[in-house]
Every structure is written in structure tokens, then in C-alpha cells.
Amino acid sequence: MPSYTYDDFVKAANQKGLFQEFSQADLQTAQRYPEFGMSILGLKEDIHKATTPEAKLLANEMANQLRSSYGGYTGGKYGADYISDGKIPNQIDSVLDKINGFGSFNFDQERPSYENQYAEQQQALLDAIINRPDFSWSKEDDPQWSSYKKSYLREGDRATANALGQAAAASGGRPSTAALTAATQAGDYYATQLNDIIPTLYQQAYDRYLNEYNMSLQDLNAVNTQEQLDYTKYLDQLGQFNTDRNFAFNQYLSDFDILQDKLSALQGQDSVDFDRYWNGQQLQREDAMAQQQLAQGQVDAILSAGGSPSADLVGASGYTTEYVQALQAAYQRQLAARSGSGGSSSGSRSGSSGGGDSADYDGLFAAALESGHPKSFIANNYKKYGFTSQTGLSDEYEEWALGQEEKAGRPVENSLAMNPDSFRAFGQSIAAQLAAGGENAALGNIESRWGELSESQRAQIQQLLRRYGLEYEE
């Protein structure tokens, strides 16, 4: 396989008039792999030579396969885009797939529920307490009163009998008032004792009533306490459930945010890559246009001087062969006309400007000189002075102006232009410095060689500077 250089690729692309069709990515890849440049140049030719859409599509697909193989990118439908097939686009697609399939939040734990299993008991106990009857007591209904009554009556009868017996024994068996009194007193004592027990029985009954009430309250409190323990346990379980669910939801959001952040980072980097590519494309187009215009100026200068520009220079200018030949013929006719008139700056001239016998060269050039902006004046007023075209008039004006200075005895500046090849190299150097951001270096370079340039060459350099928002001032 022959060994190629990047310069070989550039030269071949310019000769075939295809250099401007390559993207910045293609040029950068060709710099790293010159054989890629030569191969894709051949495919570009195939695309141009293709006579059917299918053939063009096939050639472009082969070019994209070549780009993918060498540089990890494709050029799209027309080969002018930059579509990376590297890691970032694949990662973006992968993250987007994950986001689209992320799904909604789902927490598979069962939420705890609460049911009061003591509700019926609580209600029953509460109803019993609230609806409890008021306290009431009757000695006849009190079982203890009946027992006490029997006991005290029996003891009273016994005490009465004993008192009568003792009194009878003391009186020889004869009843007496004292005996009856003693027997009655003994019976009354026990009757009094029986009545005295009533308050005690009442208090005891009331105490039992209160005790039963308190016992009911204690039962209700015990049931309430147990129910409260159960509810507290439920609240703990519910709290833990909510904590677990919130944690899971935050984790869900965190995972989603991580995907979003990753997607943003990848898209940001992809945007940076595309901007870098697009800026490179812009710089390439601007530099290519500047190079083309510089080459066009050089071709015009060589032809106006009667020379023949090289094929490389013509290819770089973008001029077709027919146009260069026509321009060369026009300049030759112009030079012949000048030679026939003895080089006079006045009188009848015939050149590419279409000036006939009625064309007033001296009038046009004098007015242009007086305007202070000769080129603009000529471009806007050449028809008023009998010309049908402005082609070549600017160069003729420079010669006329030089002649006027010579006649006035003033020193002629820039009477010799820089050699075309040297000027081409000089212009390419300036363009490269400007493209790389070296504005100060470019202006310094121009400063050092400004005196070597003709008016036409200076105009070309100024035009190049204006594309970057600059202008050289002497």
C-alpha cells in the first residue's frame, strides 16, 4: 500500500475541487490517518459520479463505514454532519431506556391496621357504670338483719327467762315486781342492741355498693389500659411502616435523580462535543473561504501581470479552468491594448473593463482619487464614464495612480509587489495565526512585511483581517 501524507490528501482534494466538501471531523481524521483521507476522497468522487440515488446512497454508506472505522463517527445522509457512534450516545440511549422503564413507586409491605378487640367489653362495662342504680337499703331486705334479729331475740328471750328464774329462786318461787322489772330490762337490752346494729348494717351495705362500683371502674380501667397498649403497639408499627415507606420512596427518588443527573451530564458532554465540532466546522469554512479568496487574489494578480498560475493555485481558488482561461485572455487583451497605446495613461484603452473609444479612464481615475475611496467609487460609477464592466479597473487605477506620483516627482511606494508564491505563503501564515486565535502574532507579522506588499496584496490582507473583525492600520 502506498504511503500518503496529509499534504498529499489536501493537494489531491484541491485538484479535484472537493476539499471544501469535507467536514472538520473528516479533516482531523485525515490528519491522523492520511490513508483515510485518500480513501474517503475516492468515495466522494464516487458520490459525484453516481448517476442514481441508490448509487449515491451506497457510496455515502461506504464513506460512513470508513468514518466509523477510523474515527468512531458518521457523517449523516450527506456526509457533512458529525454523529458520534462512540460511548456517549450509547450511554445516553442506555440511560434513557432506564428512565423510560423506571416505573412508578411501589412499596410491597402491607400497611398495619388496627381493630379494637375490647370494644364490646368497654361498652358493656361503661354502660354498667353509667346505668348503675342509686344506692338503697332496707333492713328487711338485708340478710344480715334477719340473722342478727333472730340471734338478738333469742338472746333476749334467754336473758328474760334467766332473769325471771333467778328472781323466782330468790323469792321462793313467788313472782314479784322486781323480778318482772329485771326480766324486762334484760329483754330490752337485747332489743336495744338489735336496733343499734342497723347503722352498721346500712354502712356495710353502702360500703358493698361503693366497692362494687370501684371494682367496675377498675375492670373498665384494666380493659382500657390493655386496649391502649394494643393501640400504642399499632402506632409503633404504623410509624415503622411509614418510616420504611418514606425511606424506600426517597431511595426511589434518589435513584431516579441519579439517572437524571447522569443523563444531563452525558447530554452536556455530547453538546460540548457537538459545539466543538460545529465551531471547528465554522473555523474550517471561514479559513477555507479566506484561503480561497487569498488564492483568487493571487490568481488575479498573476494573470494581470501576464503570468500563468499553477494548477494547485487555480484549484485552491475554486475557479474553473474555463473562467481562468477567459480571465487570462481578458488580461492579455488589456496588456496588448496598453502596449499598443505606448503605456499612456490617457486616450483610448480597451481591456476587460469593456472601455471603448468613449471610455474616460483619466476622468474616472481622477474622480476616484479625489473621492478618497477609489475602489468603491470605481465600482459605483464606472458606467458613468463609458465602461461596461469594472473588471480590471482597480488594477489599472493603481497603475494610473503610480504614474501620477511619478509625474509629480513623489517617491513611488509599493511599486514592486511581493512574489506571488511568497505572498501565498505569507497569506496562509496569517490565516493560520488568525484561525488559532493569535491575532497579535498575525498583526505583528503583517507589520513586519507591510512595506513589501502592493496595494492589491494589502487589500487582500485587509479583507482577510476583516473576517475576524480586525483591520491593520499603518
> pLDDT of the chain along its 474 residues, tens only?
467 888 889 999 998 888 888 888 888 889 988 999 999 999 999 998 988 888 888 888 899 888 888 877 788 777 777 776 656 667 777 888 888 888 899 999 999 999 999 999 999 999 999 999 999 998 888 888 878 777 777 766 676 767 666 666 665 655 556 656 766 766 677 777 778 788 888 898 899 989 999 999 999 999 999 999 999 999 999 999 999 999 999 999 999 899 888 888 877 777 776 666 666 656 666 776 777 778 888 887 787 777 788 888 888 888 888 888 877 777 777 667 655 544 444 444 545 555 555 577 777 887 777 766 777 778 888 888 888 877 778 778 777 776 665 555 544 444 446 777 677 778 877 876 787 677 887 888 898 888 888 888 888 888 888 888 888 887
pLDDT of residue 121: 92
One-letter amino acid of 265: A
Query: Residues 309, 298: contact at Cβ < 8 Å?
Result: yes
Give, in degrees to the nearest 5, the angle at Cα 236 between 235 and 240: 115
Listed in order, strand segments (DSSP E) in 219-284 are: none
pTM, entire model: 0.39
Cα separation of 250 and 247, whole Å? Answer: 5
pLDDT of residue 406: 55
Secondary structure (3-state) at 84: strand
DSSP, res 132: P
